[in-house]
Structure 1
Amino acid sequence: MSSRKIEVVDYDTDWPHSFESEKLALEKALYDTEVKIEHIGSTSIPNLAAKPIIDILIEIDKVERLDVKADRFCNLGYEVKGENGIPGRRYYQKGGNNRTHHIHAFQSGSFGLLRHRAFKEYLQAHPLIAREYASIKKQAALSCNKDTERYISMKNDFIVKHEKLALDWYGS
């Protein structure tokens, strides 16, 4: 069981500013690498309750190019996690047990990029579904007893159902 606190809070208008600040730091650190950096996840969706962790999506032509820049992520306070269970992804965490940022990096054209973008835009375009998701997340956070696996499991049915709907919607 995780020792991390799992808390879902109401939307914070500072989250976009936190993202922009981190984006600038990442652009500076990756000055010699062409990347696209986007705010994703629940903190990127206005009025959606979320864990107060800024999720960042990086698109790059070849994801392996980030592997030789691991020290730059470390210098910004990130822990380099490799694929961390998702083939083709590079994953970074900042903040230890009090996480503040997650970075998900994928190669241009990958399904990982499409999946993240589709789910974000789908929730932005469907506020009633976003509210349902917020309710599920809040209930999961309250009842998971700091167990990350349980928290994820309690959201899984919603995510599986709506990610498929999001991909269909996004593609049309």
Structure 2
Amino acid sequence: MKYISFIQYPDKKIRRFPVGNELEYFFDISSSELSKIKEVRVGVRGYISLTDDKDNELLGHRLFGWIDSLWLELVESVEKLMHDGFGATIVQNCGLILETYSKTLVKFYITSEEGAYKKPCRILSQKDFIDTILDGAKQFFCRLKEHLKTNQYDEDLLKIDELLRKAENFQPIDPYFHYPNETTRVNTFLFQHNEDWREMFEKERAYLMKLITETDYEIQHVGSTAINTLSARPVIDILIGTKSKWSTEMIVNDIHRDYFYQETSFPVNAFKKGTPPDCQYNIYVTEKNSPFWNSVITFRDKLLTDEDLAKEYDELKRKASACGDLQDYENQKSAFIERNDPLKLA
């Protein structure tokens, strides 16, 4: 892997883009022209071109705002990857998404302003990605420091040096994304119950607890993967119960950088971890004892204790999913849950 950093400098007219492109004038960070910038106030505008060994662009010709901030976002992503390891989804404000699916593979996404996902780049070595980003960041900030004669980036360079030392002995962390064995597949959507789903929930719960700064809340495993007698899609549904509306807002703020916010018809704050079609987690945040909380928890507990209801629900899920229409499958599930909501039947 390799990278090139560019700084925007409108007076130096080197054409690097097609006519009409607003990102038309850039020069390389190594240019002595950078010394004309006398001080750094909020950052230096530019972009990073990151390519793989076959010169396929991982970060293309798109202006990400302040290029020094972009480098720091990438360094933060690497730090989290080294700390949280396999299974991590790292979402940064600049529209970068880093996901890991195996002990080697990294998927690197760029999102558009509308939030749409561009085709991910597959990076076959976590170690290679980590080394490339840290080496690039160090070179970038050393050049800025030299040309601008500033100490502004000293703390960032110290952090990068520390990560470089840790990267020398980097070993990917054991996986907690468990993909079901194909022999357990029921149809296009469903798999037989997998005991690994409980472990996935417990590890994601621990990850959420590191992010959440509130102290009074509850995290529950809900949905079909929480019921060992049900077939299910390999998606872990997690419900976070808060003590108040204010507490909900605080927790939403704590986790929003690490999960994708999603629109939902439910009266809750909903997030996803993982990008389509490989969504692995749904996170719902609501007040404890709210109608949504009570309905979801009560229905889960009813399925755990009522074998006949669980069997009827599983049969409906298998039949509804056989046609391969996900929306129809979800609609039939919702109708069943509505009919059998213990709170409405009470």
TM-score, length of structure 1 as denominator length: 0.81
2: CA distance, partners of 1:58 / 1:123? 20
User: 1:124-160, CA deviations, whole angstroms, 9 ceiling, x for partnerless residues?
Assistant: 11112212211211222221x3x43211222233222
Give 3-state SS (helix, strand or coil) of 2:239's partner: strand
Equivalent of residue 22 in structure 1, options 167, 182, 204: 204
Q: Which residue of 2 is the match for residue 115 of structure 1?
A: 295
Deviation at 1:63, TM superposition (A): 3.8
2: CA distance, partners of 1:40 / 1:59? 12
Q: Is 2:335 the partner of 1:154?
A: no
Q: Is 2:275 the partner of 1:96?
A: yes
Give 3-state SS (helix, strand or coil) of 2:283's partner: strand
Does the 8 Å contact 1:29/1:72 carry over to 2? yes
Q: Give the number of the structure with larger relative contact order, counting CA–CA contacts within 8 Å between residues 6 or more apart.
A: 1
User: 1:104-128, CA deviations, whole angstroms, 9 ceiling, x for partnerless residues?
Assistant: 1111221111001110010011112
Equivalent of residue 138 in structure 1, options 318, 323, 328: 318
Deviation at 1:56, TM superposition (A): 0.6
Does the 8 Å contact 2:272/2:279 carry over to 1? yes
Give 3-state SS (helix, strand or coil) of 1:96's partner: coil
Unaligned runs of 5+ residues in structure 2 are: 1-186
Give 3-state SS (helix, strand or coil) of 1:80's partner: strand
Structure richer in helix, relative to its length: 1
Does the 8 Å contact 2:212/2:255 carry over to 1? no
Give 3-state SS (helix, strand or coil) of 2:340's partner: helix
2: CA distance, partners of 1:73 / 1:156? 27
Sort the Cα spacing of 1:86 and 1:101 in 2 relative to 1 into closer, same or farther, 3 A: same
Q: Which residue of 1 is the match for residue 265 of structure 2?
A: 85
Deviation at 1:67, TM superposition (A): 3.8
Q: Which residue of 2 is the match for residue 105 of structure 1?
A: 285
2: CA distance, partners of 1:21 / 1:139? 32
- Alpha-carbon RMSD: 2.3
1: CA distance, partners of 2:336 / 2:265? 21
Rg (Cα) greater in structure: 2
Q: Which residue of 1 is the match for residue 192 of structure 2?
A: 10
Does the 8 Å contact 1:56/1:104 carry over to 2? yes
Task: Give the stretch that moved more between structures: 55-64 or 153-162.
Answer: 153-162
Equivalent of residue 343 in structure 2, options 163, 167, 170: 167
1: CA distance, partners of 2:240 / 2:197? 18
Unaligned runs of 5+ residues in structure 1 are: none
2: CA distance, partners of 1:137 / 1:155? 7
Using the aligned pairs only, state the percent identity: 26
Q: Which residue of 2 is the match for residue 35 of structure 1?
A: 217
Does the 8 Å contact 1:73/1:79 carry over to 2? no
Does the 8 Å contact 2:218/2:241 carry over to 1? yes
Give 3-state SS (helix, strand or coil) of 1:39's partner: strand
**How many equivalent pairs are there?**
159
Task: Give the stretch that moved more between structures: 26-35 or 98-107.
Answer: 26-35
